[in-house]
Amino acid sequence: MKLPRIGVFDSGVGGLTVLKALAGQIPAHYFYFGDTARLPYGTKSVETVARYAIGAARFLEGQSVDLLVIACNTATALALPQIKEAAASPVVGVVEPGAAMAAEVSKQRAAIVIATDATVSSHAYRNALQHHGLEAYEKACPLFVPLVEEGWIDHPVTEQVARIYLGEAIAQAPKEADVLLLACTHYPLLAPVLRRVVPPQMKIVDSAESTASVVREMMHDDHAVSSRPRTSVRAEGPAVSPTEHRSFRFYVTDSVDKFKRLAARFLGRQVDHVEHVDLGG
């Protein structure tokens, strides 16, 4: 059976945590697109985010992908219905898988969601958690992303910032929340710090791992995803960084060298071959 071809889209490098989780669970050919020229998406309108995300989805469909994973929390929160409507391939976002996993592991039926300002403002996770019968308190943690990209993953400053953010969140949560939902793709890199900060009984749910689990189940249950005819043009040339059951291609719209540097941090291995693409306005 042919390996599935999975496209992963993010506004930058954060979605690499989703790619890493996917590759850890699913043998496939992976195509990662980071819209690094136009980040951050959180400062842009719903219409603009939808337009950018749809353009990225169409680019990835041009690589003959069987499935699209929207690894960007902002794009998932603001524009998932528009992306699904525009895409010919099945589309999976990161919000619902994370909320569903939180609902599965929570006993107190209450969760704290930490995310960027844009994701918190959308209330996408709060709404998804409420749909699953959980109360949710959302906390924006805007300093986490630059700290991760600076490489201060286990730095004392990062731990102090985490203690401030999580202390405020725990104090303001509606009741004794027993789940911390990481609703930004940068945050899994901070999991060891966060584990030290939150109460020992609190479970940490990573939306990247949750999304990978959903995609794995889709691949197992729906043979149509991996066997349906492909109508778009297959990418030419050898796949980048092949292993026995996985291969990877990386595309960015700007800052190839910066992407390579950060990608090594997010994936835990060097990324040598990154292609620059220009999707226009």
Active site residue: 6, 26, 57, 72, which one? 72
Task: Map out the domains of the chain as residue ranges.
Answer: 5-93+209-276, 95-208
Q: Tokens at residue 248, please?
A: 């990877």
Radius of gyration of the chain (CA): 18
Give the pLDDT score at 207: 94
Read off the amino acid at residue 45.
S
Give the pLDDT score at 61: 97
Which residue has 């850890």 as its token pair? 24
Active site residue: 75, 177, 184, 214, which one? 184
Tell me the pLDDT tens digit for each residue of 43-90: 889 999 999 999 999 999 999 999 999 999 999 999 999 999 999 999
Report CA torsion sign: 115, 117, 120, 125: negative
Q: Tokens at residue 246, please?
A: 């996985």
Q: Which CATH number fits domain 5-93+209-276: 2.40.110.10, 3.20.20.60, 3.40.50.720, 3.40.50.1860?
A: 3.40.50.1860
CA distances from 272 to 37, 194, 262 (A): 19, 31, 12
Give the pLDDT score at 281: 64
Q: Is the pLDDT of residue 235 over 50?
A: no
Q: Residue 182: helix, strand or coil by DSSP?
A: strand
Mean pLDDT within 239-265: 84
Measuring CA to CA, which residue among 172, 171, 191, 167 is closest to residue 181?
A: 191
Q: Give yes or no on whether 5-93+209-276 and 95-208 have one common fold.
A: yes
Measuring CA to CA, which residue among 34, 43, 24, 10 is closest to residue 185?
A: 10
State the pTM of this model.
Answer: 0.90
Tell me the pLDDT tens digit for each residue of 174-190: 778 999 999 999 999 99
Tell me the pLDDT tens digit for each residue of 130-162: 999 999 999 999 999 999 999 999 999 999 999
DSSP string, 40-83: -GGGS-HHHHHHHHHHHHHHHHTTT-SEEEE--HHHHHHHHHHH
pLDDT category of residue 221 using cuts at 50, 70 and 90: confident
Give the up-direction half-sphere exposure of residue 211: CA atoms within 13 A in the CB hemisphere: 34
Q: Is the pLDDT of residue 230 over 90?
A: no
The secondary structure of residue 35, as a DSSP letter, is -
Give the pLDDT score at 67: 97
Residue 184 a catalytic site member: yes
CA distances from 140 to 114, 151, 152, 183 (A): 6, 20, 19, 10
Helix ranges (H only) for 136-255 are: 144-149, 156-172, 191-197, 207-221, 223-227
Residue 141 a catalytic site member: no
pLDDT category of residue 228 using cuts at 50, 70 and 90: very low
Q: What is the CATH number of domain 95-208?
A: 3.40.50.1860
Mean pLDDT within 252-271: 94
Q: Which residues contact 7 (CB under 8 A, 6 or more apart)?
A: 30, 31, 32, 33, 57, 60, 61, 63, 65, 67, 68, 69, 89
Q: Return the axis-axis angle of helices 73-86 and 124-131, rounded to nearest 10°.
A: 80
